[in-house]
């Protein structure tokens, strides 16, 4: 799937898991268990050049993948990430 670079509004539970989002003026409710997308932990960046064999550098939740549906039944799988200020839509799967 091609990458999408759009901002979305996202509401999350206290645990951080997405519950609903607004994309292109449409409200979608999460209809499955969100899956965390992981990437290198930000605090590890100064040490990223070091060899940590065996294994890899520490990971942190970098975003979420989840299925969400609109009231009319339109359903997509969304990948979202937070850029430090806003939620960004990364991919949409039909």
Interval 60-82: pLDDT, tens = 788 999 999 999 999 999 999 98
Whether 2 shows a pLDDT value over 80: the answer reads no
pTM (2 d.p.): 0.80
In a domain, 31, yes or no: yes
Region class of 41: left (phi > 0), else alpha (psi between -120 and 50), else beta: beta
In a domain, 1, yes or no: no
In a domain, 83, yes or no: yes
In a domain, 80, yes or no: yes
Pair of tokens at residue 10 = 């996202």
Tallying the residues shown for the chain, one arrives at: 94
Confidence of residue 39 (pLDDT cuts 50, 70, 90): confident
Q: What whole-number distance in Å separates Cα of residue 78 and Cα of residue 75?
A: 10
DSSP calls for 2-41: ----EEEEEEE-TTS-EEEEEETTEEEEE-S--EEEEEE-
Domain hosting residue 52, numbered range: 6-93
The fraction of the chain above a pLDDT of 70, given in percent, is 85
The total of structural domains in the chain comes to: 1
In a domain, 78, yes or no: yes
């Amino acid at each position: 799937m091609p990458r999408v670079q759009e901002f979305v509004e996202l509401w999350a539970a206290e645990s951080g898991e997405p519950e609903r989002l607004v994309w292109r003026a449409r409200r979608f409710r999460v209809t499955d268990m969100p899956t965390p997308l992981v990437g290198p932990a930000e605090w590890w960046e100064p040490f990223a050049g070091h060899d940590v064999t065996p294994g890899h550098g520490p990971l942190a939740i970098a975003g979420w993948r989840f299925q969400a549906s609109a009231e009319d039944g339109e359903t997509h799988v969304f990948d979202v990430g937070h850029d430090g200020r806003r939620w960004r839509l990364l991919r949409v799967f039909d």
